[in-house]
Amino acid sequence: MFKRNIEFPKNTSFFLFGPRGTGKSSLIKRNYPDSTYIDLLNSSNYTKLLAQPHKLSEFLTKSSDIPVVIDEVQRIPDLLNEVHHLIENQGFKFILTGSNARKLRTTQANLLAGRAFKYNLHPLTFGEIGSNVDLQKVLKFGLLPTIHDRNKNIDAQKYLESYIQIYLEEEILQEGLTRNLSNFARFLEVASFSQAQQLNVSAVARDSAVSRKVAESYFQILYDLLIAYELPVFKKHAKRSLVSQNKFYFFDIGVYSTIKPKGLLDKKQSEEGTLLESLVLQELLATNSNLNLQYDINYWRTPKGTEVDFILYGKSRLLAIEVKRKTNITSKDLRGLRAFKSDYPMSELFVFYGGDKELNIDGIKVIPIKKALLNLPEILKEDHNN
């Protein structure tokens, strides 16, 4: 069991969203061992409460001091009206977990109007695993907790293949998110070639043999299920022309690698570079969320191709991070960071790279990637001593 670097509020209700497999249920059970636990993946609980949401009170203890956990609450959005009533009139505290924001959004579910905070749980971070984290294992299998749990001795590749199948069968098909599962499966494979790339929905639609409208709906399914996201371009006070397309990423590099076709004739790209860039974004998103650092995370790119992988815009800091898999950094590798610095003189510049020495090149901090990720909370904190 891993100690997660996320803290929840005391004496108040909250939502905890995150893709399946990120450890929501295990974390809540460990942190709230005395809670009343209602699992909506349990068919008996689901059937009873789906038919009669008002019977939620029958599942509760008489004491409002004991928190009530409803796992996978999006399966019965109408329950949130009962939750709202019990919070307002009987003082109960609820912990509501979910892995599918689509149902809550499309049914205009009651999200408790400020009576419950919202948190997101991401895959593990390097800091949560510890200094013995195996970078090569992470690059191959990602950071879902089950893969790194030494007590579970699983076949990581089979686990990931099963994970993809569960999402296709349970979330996509059973929830009726699409009528054509084979089309969606083909779309997933095509979308994987957009990993860490500027997203061209029309091209994905063409290669998937579906219409652009269908491709857009499929991308929205990925975002609603929290298994993919887009990274926007940083344009605040822009001093030059910039591209407009967002970049696309699956939420975990192990899931991405499992989805991506590996046949002889499949499109080639710098796989290790893509994995490293995707891994750093995973860690940035998780650390930013877990520690509530409130950075806006973007990328920066000019039409001529001058680019910085990640821009973090905070209340008092502006960070630019470039990811390089090579072991030696040259002046050419710093071109994007220097161009960004000329536009934003207050920015702090970093390179996370494949070498083993920490360097400072004209004020640019160059850090071995494993060390950078293990120390990411300290690097990102607003009170970081520069």
Per-residue pLDDT tens over the stretch 248-299: 999 999 999 999 997 655 655 568 899 999 999 999 999 999 999 999 999 9
Residue 100 lies inside a defined structural domain of this protein: yes
pLDDT higher for 308 or 91? 308
Q: What is the pLDDT of residue 111?
A: 62
- Show the DSSP H helices in the chain as ranges: 24-31, 43-51, 79-90, 101-106, 126-129, 135-141, 145-148, 156-166, 181-192, 201-208, 212-224, 253-259, 271-290, 335-343, 369-374, 376-380
Q: Does a structural domain hold residue 23?
A: yes
CB 237 within 8 A of CB 313: no
Domain contains 306: no
Q: Is residue 27 part of a domain?
A: yes
> 103 versus 94: which is more confidently predicted?
94
Q: What is the arithmetic mean of pLDDT over 167-189?
A: 82
Fill in the amino acid letter for 80: L
* pLDDT on residue 384: 57
Q: In sequence order, what are the beta bridge partners of 120?
A: 17
**What contacts 32, CB < 8 A, 6 or more positions away?**
67, 69, 95
DSSP assignment, residue 200?
-
Kindly report the average pLDDT of the chain as a whole number: 90
Predicted confidence (pLDDT) at residue 175 exceeds the cutoff of 70: no
Would residue 147 count as lying in a domain? Answer: no
Domain, as residue range, for 97 = 13-120
Nearest to 220 by CA among 260, 290, 212, 327: 212
In a domain, 43, yes or no: yes
361 within some domain:
no
CA distance 140 to 157: 9
SS3 360: strand
Angle at 280 between CA 242 and CA 221, to 5 degrees: 75
What whole-number percentage of the chain has pLDDT above 70?
92
What pLDDT is stored for residue 4 in this prediction? 94
Residues 343-361: what's their mean pLDDT? 96
> Does the structure show a pLDDT above 70 at 115?
no
Residue 255 lies in a domain: no
Residue 338 · residue 351 · CB < 8 Å: no
Residue 103's Cβ-count burial label (10 Å; 0-12, 13-18, 19+) is: middle
3-state DSSP assignment of residue 266 = coil
**What pLDDT, in 10s, does the model give residues 54-80?**
999 888 877 778 899 999 998 888 898
Q: What is the pLDDT of residue 114?
A: 59
pLDDT at 103: 67
Residue 234 exposure: Cα atoms within 13 Å on the Cβ side: 24
CATH of the domain at 33: 3.40.50.300
Residue 324 has a pLDDT of 96
Give the count of domains, the chain: 1
Residue 150 has pLDDT above 80, yes or no: yes
Statement: residue 197 has pLDDT above 60: yes
